[in-house]
Amino acid sequence: MLVSLSGLFEPGHALGLLAWDSPGWGQVFATGLMHTMEVAVGAYALGLVIGIIGAASKLGGGEILRDLFALYTTMVRAIPELVEILILFYLVPQLINSVLLSLGFERIALPQLLVGIVVLGVVVGAYMTEVLRGAILAVPHGQIEAARAYGMTPLMIAWRVIFPQMMANAIPGMANLWLNTTKDTALLAVIGFNELTLSTLQAAGTTKAYFLFFIAAGLIYLVISTLSGRFFAVVERWARKGQPVRRAGSI
């Protein structure tokens, strides 16, 4: 069985073009997939950091900070990602280089992966800010007042009271955002970053086997989103531990 399956990947057979080594494109595909995952994870992590800072400053920061973050989230969510990616793609290296030059260092060429992560992370950060802000707002205010009455420090309140209760509210939004992030990595194809979608187009364009490669890539994305869905379902169950069960469809 296994032998006959691997026979499909021989050159000239049905899936020969997907074989690992040349003339197959498996390796190119795997590199693209790896880049997609790297950017997605990196951008999501950066977005999480921005989101935590953003939600904290929108809810508890000074008025100027609040306005600035409101401006940031509104603008990022109103402008197409493609445009933002292009603006930041030109802007981020230029800013970093001008800082480096003014400090007396040499101009550097930033690795594409890093630019991709920063660019996408800034976009994810805006959505993450809103997800976390909403989740924190959903924590009953009495809980926080009670904690304050106990004399807890703000950090203790955040860690012991707000965090455990907001997680259950935040997970669905965060799961959605993760799925969007994995799909948005495809947009980096327009700045020439060879992630999965661009690799697919290259492989398909060279071999003219458009259907094979696009369907294969589509399946990979579907597997990613299905597995992520499972993962977040488990995390949500963990986060809802000890909370009253919500009826399905009671939104």
- C-beta of 104: minimal distance to another protein in Å? 26
Query: Nearest 5 degrees, angle CA 57-CA 58-CA 61?
Result: 40
Q: Which residues make up the interface to another protein (CB under 8 A)?
A: 63-64, 67-68, 71, 75, 77-84, 86-87, 90-91, 179, 183-187, 189-190, 197, 200-201, 204-205, 208, 210-211, 214-215, 217-218, 221-222, 225-226, 249, 251
How many Cα atoms sit within 13 Å of 184 on the Cβ side? 27
Between 131 and 157, CB nearer to another protein: 131
Between 131 and 161, CB nearer to another protein: 131
- C-beta of 165: minimal distance to another protein in Å? 25
Between 63 and 106, CB nearer to another protein: 63
DSSP 22: T
Tally of CB atoms within 10 A around 13 = 12
Between 3 and 248, CB nearer to another protein: 248
Tally of CB atoms within 10 A around 21 = 10
Q: Do 85 and 191 contact (CB within 8 A), yes or no?
A: yes
Q: Do 138 and 246 contact (CB within 8 A), yes or no?
A: no
Between 157 and 196, CB nearer to another protein: 196
- C-beta of 186: minimal distance to another protein in Å? 4
Q: Which residue type sits at 152? A: M
Q: Which residue type sits at 66? A: R
- C-beta of 177: minimal distance to another protein in Å? 13
